[in-house]
Amino acid sequence: MQFELTKEYLSEIREASAASDENRLIGLFNEVHAADIAEIINELTTEEAKTVLHFLEPDRASDTITHLDEEDRKDLLNAYTSVEIAENFVENLETDDAADLIQELSEERREEVIAQIDDIDQASQIVDLLNYEEGTAGAIMGKEMVSVYEHLSVTESILELRKQAEDIENVYTVYVTDEKDRLKGRLALKKMLVAPTSAKIKDVYVSDIHWVKAGDTTEEVASIMEKYDLVALPVVDNLHRLIGRITIDDVVDVIKEEADRDYQMASGISEDVESTDSVWVLTRARLPWLILGLIGGIFGARVIGLYEADIQLYPEMAFFIPLVAAMGGNVGVQSSAIIVQGLANNTMGMSGILPRLLKEFSVALLNATACAIIVLGYNIIFGDSLNLAYTVSLALLAVIVIAALFGTLIPLTLDKYKIDPALATGPFITTVNDILGLFIYFMIGRLMYGM
Amino acid sequence: MQFELTKEYLSEIREASAASDENRLIGLFNEVHAADIAEIINELTTEEAKTVLHFLEPDRASDTITHLDEEDRKDLLNAYTSVEIAENFVENLETDDAADLIQELSEERREEVIAQIDDIDQASQIVDLLNYEEGTAGAIMGKEMVSVYEHLSVTESILELRKQAEDIENVYTVYVTDEKDRLKGRLALKKMLVAPTSAKIKDVYVSDIHWVKAGDTTEEVASIMEKYDLVALPVVDNLHRLIGRITIDDVVDVIKEEADRDYQMASGISEDVESTDSVWVLTRARLPWLILGLIGGIFGARVIGLYEADIQLYPEMAFFIPLVAAMGGNVGVQSSAIIVQGLANNTMGMSGILPRLLKEFSVALLNATACAIIVLGYNIIFGDSLNLAYTVSLALLAVIVIAALFGTLIPLTLDKYKIDPALATGPFITTVNDILGLFIYFMIGRLMYGM
C-alpha cells in the first residue's frame, strides 16, 4: 500500500493545476500524505506547485513543505513573499519544523518572516530555537510537549494534558517537573490511562529517564535514542530545566544522514549529493577527490620513474604494477571501513590501539599469505620469470600487511584528534597505499633481480 | 549523561561477580539500563556474565540478552539449558524479541525451548512469528498491541486498554478493527484522553492510516515508517486482519543495518562484521573481495603483457599505469555510489536510464576535462615526452568518461534484475575499470607513438 507516482497521475495533476480546477485537485490529493505530495511537487514547475499548495488545507500544505529536499524547498520559497511564508506555512508548523524552515532563508528574509508571525508565543519559541547551533540537540528539538508538576493528581494531569496537547500532533509521554521547571521524570500516556485517577503523579512517574542538554551533538542524541530504543527524548538547559523534546522521526533523519555521509566519503563524494542534483553540484562534489587521486597518480609516476632503467631491462616488472597498487588500496579501504564503522556505531569495545593493530596484523597476514600463494602459483605456472614470481608475491605480502596497518592507524589517529575518521577512507587511503605499494614493489624487485 | 564503561567499574563488577556478592552487584547495576549491561556483559567471561544475569531482575536480565550482538548472544545462550532459556529469558520478553532469540538457536534447541514455555498463548504466538521468513514484516512484528472494536465507546475502550495493555511496555496508539478483526484505523492515546468519554470509537478514530502485509520486506517497512514519520505500523494478513505491529526501534535497526551493509559492500567486506569479531570471521569477510581484486590484477598483468615490447621501447609508458587505473576505479566508485544511494533512499526521481546516463556523461566530461588539463600541464612542464603527455591526458579523458558510464549502468542493470546494486560498488567496479583503463591507455599510446 505504498504510494506510487505514475505518469498518468502526474499529468492529471498538471492539467488540473493549469486549469486551477480546485475540486479536481482536492479529489486528486484526497488521502494523499504530505510526504507523497512533496514527491509530486518535485516534478512540478514552481507555478504548478504554488497552485497545488494553494488548494490544499493549510496544515497539509505546510507539512508538504517540510518534506521537500532542502534545495527544492529553497527554490520554492523564493516564489513566496515573507508574509505568505509566515501565514501559509510557518504558522501551521510545529516549532522545530518552523525553525528549520526559517533557518534556511537568507538572514534578511528570516527577520521579515519572524516579524510576520501572528502568534507571539510561537514567534518567541522559534527565535529561541534559532539560537542553537546547527548539529546540536537544541537545533532539532521542538517546544511542543506536555509537562505537569509532580504534585498534581492523575485527574488534574489529564486536564492539563487536554489544555496543553490540543495542537500537538504526537504525544507519547508526559514530562514531570518540579515548581522550578526542572525535569524530574516522565509518565507514559498509557500509565495515565490505567493508573487510579486519584493517584498523585509523584507516586506513579518514572524518575530514571534519559535526557540530553541543548548543547549536546545530534550524534549523541541519535546514539542515545538508538541504544535505549526511545521515541522521544527530553532536552534540558544548564539548570536542568525542561526546554524541549526531540522525537524519533527527526533522529531517524540524523542517523540516515550520518550513514549516508560516511558512505559518500568512502566513495569519494564530498558533499551530500543526490542523483537528481544539477550537473554542476555533482561535479563540484566529485572533482576534489579526483584531483587528490590525480596528485597521487603523479607521485606514483615519479616513483616508477625512479626505476625507469629497471623497467627497460625487465619490462615484465610493469605487468604487476596495477595489481600491487590496487591490492594495497583495497586492503586499506577494508581496514579503515571497519574502524570508521566501529567508531560510528560505538562497537569498538574497550581494547586500545596496540591490541587492535595486532589483530589487524593477524587478519592481514592471513589474507596476504592466501593472496601471495595464489599469485605465486599463477606466476610459476604461467609466467616465465621466477624472479618476477617471487618479487610479486613478496611485494604483495608486504603491501597487504602495511596497507592494513595504515588503514587502521590513520582513522584511529584522526579520531583521536577529533577529525572525522571517515575522511581517511576511500580515495585518500587508496592513494597513499598506491604510492607506498609501488615503492615496496620496486625495492623488492631490485633485491630479487640483484640490481 | 550517557553511560560510560570504565575499567574501574568493570573490575568492581568482576570482583563482585567472583564473590557472588548479590548486594554489591545489585548496587553496581542500580539504574543501569539493559543496553549498558549488555555492553558490560560483552567484556565478561561466560561465568561472570551468568552470575551477573542471575542476580538481575528477570525483566532486566532478559532485556540485556536482547541487546547483545547476535554472536555474543549465541555464545552466552550455549551456557544455558533449554529450560533456563525459556524460564529465565523467553517468558519475560515481548513476542518479537522472544521469537528473534529462539530463531537464532539450533533447530533442536528451538523446539525444546518452545516446549518449556509455560504460557500457552505466548508459546503459540511465538510459533506463529517463527513462520515468517527472515527479512519480512512478519518476522520483525510483535503481537503486543491494543485493539478495540469500532462500535465501543471511549470509556469501554479505556477499560479494554487496561486489560490488554497490562504487560505491554510501550503503547502509542490503539488499533481499531471490525468484528472480523479487519483493520479499520487507529486512535492515538492522546485522543482517548481528550475525547468525550461517551463518544463512540467509530466517530473519533482515524481511518486513513498506513499498514503493511506480513510478507512485505523490512526495507519496505523501513521506507514507509521513515517517509511518513511513524513510530508504529500495523501488520495485516491477506484478509486484512490485524495480526501484529512493528515499532520504530526495530526499524531503526533495519535502517542502520541496511546502510552499514551498503557501506561494507562498497569497502569490500562481504559479511556484517565488527572490529570486535574474531580474526577468522574478519578474514573470511575480506578475502573473497581481495581474491576478486587479485584476479583483476592478473588480467591487468596480461593486458600490459600484450604491450611488453612497447614498454621496452618507451618505458615511460609504465609511469602512468597506476594513475590511469586508479582514476578509472575512483570515478567508477563515485558513479555507482550515487546510484546505489539513490536506489536505497528512493530519491531517483522519475527520469529513465537514458537521461541519467546523459547527465552522468556531462558530469564525467567536466571532471575528465579538468583532470586531463592538470595532467597535461604537469607532463608538458615536468615530463620530457610530448607523446606521453598527450597519451596520458587522452587516456584519462576516455577512462573517466567510460568508467562513469559503467559505474552508472552496472548498478542500474543489477537493480533491474532484482540483484542488490550495492554488489557493483567497491572492488568489483574498481577491478573492471582498472582493466578497461589499461586497455584504453595502451591503445591510445600506440596511436600516439605511431607504433
CA distance A122 to chain B (A): 22
If you search the block for the grid coordinates 507555478, which residue do you land on? A47
Interacting residues of B220 by C-beta distance below 8 A, sequence separation 6+: A2, B137, B212
Q: Tell which of A168, A338, A378, A396 to mutate to test the B interface (max B CBs under 10 Å).
A: A338
CB contact under 8 A, A172 and B168: no
> How would residue A429 be classed by pLDDT, with cut points 50, 70 and 90?
confident
CA dist B43 and B243 (Å) reads 39
Any idea how long chain B is?
Answer: 451
Which segments within A338-404 are labelled E, that is strand? Answer: none
Residue B437 belongs to a domain: yes
Angle between the N-to-C axes of helices A58-67 and A70-77, in degrees from 0 to 180, rounded to the nearest 10: 130
Same domain, B430 and B317: yes
What is the per-residue pLDDT for A349? Answer: 65
Query: Cell 522521526 sits at which residue?
Result: A249
Residues B158 and B169: their CA atoms lie apart, in Å, by 17
> Do B302 and B420 sit in the same domain of this protein?
yes
What are the chain B neighbours of A434 within 8 Å (beta carbons)? 322, 326
Domain stop point among A135, A169, A186: A135
Residue of B nearest to A227 (CA): B35
Predicted confidence at residue A78, as pLDDT, reads: 93
Residues 165-204 of A with CB under 8 A from B: 165-166, 168, 170-172, 188-190, 192-194
Residue A451: its pLDDT value, please?
61
Locate B312 and state its grid cell.
Answer: 621496452
Contacts of residue A47, Cβ cutoff 8 Å, sequence gap at least 6 = none
Count CA within 13 A, CB hemisphere, residue A170. Answer: 18
Rounded to the nearest integer, the mean pLDDT of chain A is 88
Which cell is A286 given?
566529485
Last residue of some domain: B117, B140, B163?
B140
Kindly report the nearest CA distance between residue B307 and chain A, in angstroms: 9
How many Cβ atoms are within 10 Å of A432's Cβ, its own excluded? 20
Compute CA distances B126 → A16, A42, B144, B222, B249, whole Å: 51, 44, 11, 23, 20
Q: What mean pLDDT comes out for the span A418-433? A: 81
Contacts A315 to B, Cβ<8 Å = 308, 311-312, 315, 318
User: How far A58 CA lies from chain B's nearest CA (Å)?
Assistant: 18
Mapped onto helix, strand or coil, the DSSP state of residue B136 is: strand
- Grid cell at residue A436: 607506498
Residue B238 has a pLDDT of 93
Shared-domain flag, residues B228 and B289: no
Confidence tier at A357 by pLDDT (50, 70, 90): confident
CA-based nearest residue in chain A for residue B426? A267
Q: Does residue A161 fall inside a structural domain? A: yes
Q: Say yes or no for a CB contact (<8 Å) between B279 and A249.
A: no
Residues of A in contact with B148 (CB under 8 A): none
Q: Could you tell me the end-to-end alpha-carbon distance of chain B, in angstroms, rounded to an integer?
A: 71
| Residues whose CB is less than 8 angstroms from the CB of residue B331 and which lie 6 or more positions away in sequence, other chains included | A286, A290, B364, B367, B399, B400, B403, B404, B407, B433
**Cα of A215 to nearest chain B Cα, Å:** 12
Q: Note the Cα A207 to chain centre separation in Å.
A: 32
CA distance B238 to chain A (A): 13
Give the residue on B whose Cα is nearest the Cα of A312. Answer: B312
Number of alpha carbons in the 13 Å side-chain half-sphere of residue A4: 6
Contacts of B248 in chain A (CB under 8 A): 231, 248, 252
List the domain range (segments joined by +) for residue A46.
7-135
Strands A147-149 and A173-177, bridge-based pairing: parallel
Q: What is the pLDDT of residue A83?
A: 93
Residue B196 and residue B112 share a domain? no
The enclosing H or E element of B233 equals strand B232-236
Asked whether residue B293 falls in the same domain as residue B404, the answer is yes
Domain stops at, among B90, B119, B140: B140
Q: Which residues, numbered 85 to 124 in chain B, qualify as contacts with chain A under a Cβ-Cβ cut-off of 8 Å?
A: none
Same domain assignment for residues B284 and B432: yes
The pLDDT value given to residue B159: 87
CA distance B291 to chain A (A): 7
The single-letter code of the amino acid at A49 is A
Interchain pair B304, A298: CB under 8 A: no
Residues 382-411 of chain B with CB under 8 A from chain A are: 400
- Spatial CA neighbour of A102 closest among A135, A121, A125, A120: A125
Q: Report pLDDT digits (tens) over A171-206.
A: 888 999 999 999 999 998 888 888 888 889 999 999
Site of grid cell 509523584: A202
Q: Does A429 touch chain B (CB under 8 A)?
A: no
∠ CA A347-A351-A355, rounded to 5°: 120
| Angstrom distance (rounded) from CA A144 to CA A115 | 21
Assess whether B162 and B294 both reside in one domain.
no
Q: What is the CATH number of the domain that holds A303?
A: 1.10.357.20
What CATH number is given to the structural domain containing A193? Answer: 3.10.580.10
The predicted pLDDT at position B151 comes to 92
Q: How far is CA B392 from the centre of its chain?
A: 41
Residues B328 and B427 in one domain: yes
Question: How many alpha carbons fall within 13 Å on the CB side of residue B202?
Answer: 7
From CA A235, how far away is CA A136, in angstroms rounded? 11
What is the secondary structure of A73-128 as a DSSP string?
A: HHHHHTTS-HHHIIIIIGGGS-HHHHHHHHHTS-HHHHHHHHHT-S-HHHHHHHHH
Same domain? A325 vs A387: yes
DSSP E strands: which ranges in A303-363? none
The answer, for A219 touching chain B at a CB cutoff of 8 Å, is no
Is residue A437 within 8 Å of A395, Cβ to Cβ?
yes
CB contact under 8 A, A208 and B262: no
Nearest CA in chain B to A426: B267
Please, are residues A243 and A237 in contact by the beta-carbon 8 Å criterion? yes
Nearest to B293 among A229, A330, A337 (CB): A330
Q: For residue B391, what are the contacts with CB-CB under 8 A and spacing of at least 6? A: B317, B320, B441, B444, B445, B448, B449
For residue B217, what pLDDT is reported?
Answer: 93
Say how far apart CA B264 and CA B272 lie, in whole Å: 8
In a domain, A54, yes or no: yes
**Contact indicator for B255, A284 with CB cutoff of 8 Å:** no
Measured torsion, CA atoms of residues A138, A140, A143, A146, in degrees rounded to the nearest 10: -110
The reported pLDDT for the residue numbered A241 is 95
Which of A6, A319, A339 is the best mutation test for B, with the most CBs of B within 10 A?
A: A319
Preferred mutation among B173, B216, B229, B278 to probe A, highest tally of A CBs within 10 A: B229
Does the pLDDT of residue A1 top 60, yes or no?
no
Segment A381-401 shows an average pLDDT of 90
Which of A240 and A43 is assigned the larger pLDDT? A240
Average pLDDT, integer, range A278-282: 84
Residue B263: inside a domain: no
Q: Are residues B162 and B46 in the same domain?
A: no
Please give the full DSSP string across B313-353, using - where no structure is assigned. Answer: H-GGGGGGHHHHHHHHHHHHHHHHHHHHHHHHHT---S--H
**A418 burial via Cβ count (<10 Å: 0-12, 13-18, 19+):** exposed
Instruction: Establish if B123 belongs to a structural domain.
Output: yes
Same domain, B295 and B234: no
The reported pLDDT for the residue numbered B169 is 74
CA distances from B167 to A394, A407, A449, B143, B193 (A): 63, 49, 76, 12, 20
Q: What is the pLDDT of residue A2?
A: 64
pLDDT digits (tens, 9 = 90+) for A200-234: 999 999 988 999 999 999 989 998 998 898 999 99
pLDDT reading at A444 higher than 80: yes
Sign of CA dihedral A30, A33, A35, A36: negative
Q: E strands along B16-152, which residues?
A: 147-149
- Per the CB < 8 A criterion, the answer to whether B264 and A337 are in contact is yes
Instruction: Report B:326-385 residues touching A (Cβ under 8 A).
Output: 326-327, 329-331, 333-334, 336-339, 341-342, 345, 347-350, 356, 359, 362-363, 366-367, 370-371, 374-375, 378
Q: Is A426 on the interface with B (CB under 8 A)?
A: yes
- How many domains would you assign to chain B? 3
First to last CA, chain A: 71
Distances (CA, A) of A10 to A58, A75, A359, B191: 22, 20, 56, 35
Is position B60 within any domain? yes
- Cα–Cα distance for residue pair B296/B289, rounded to 1 Å: 11
If asked whether residues A109 and A163 sit together in one domain, one would say no
B179 found inside a domain: yes
Q: pLDDT tens digits, residue range A83-108?
A: 999 999 999 999 999 999 999 999 89
Residues near A350 by Cβ (< 8 Å), separated by ≥ 6?
B5, B7, B10, B43
SS3 for B142?
strand
Spell out, as residue ranges, where chain B has pLDDT lower than 50. Answer: none
pLDDT by residue (tens digit) across A55-75? 999 999 999 999 998 888 998
A258 found inside a domain: no
Nearest partner of A90 among A146, A44, A130, A52, judged by Cα: A130
CATH number of the domain enclosing B116: 1.25.60.10
Q: What is the dihedral of CA B197, B202, B208, B211, to 10 degrees?
A: 90
Return the residue of A nearest to B38 by Cα: A227
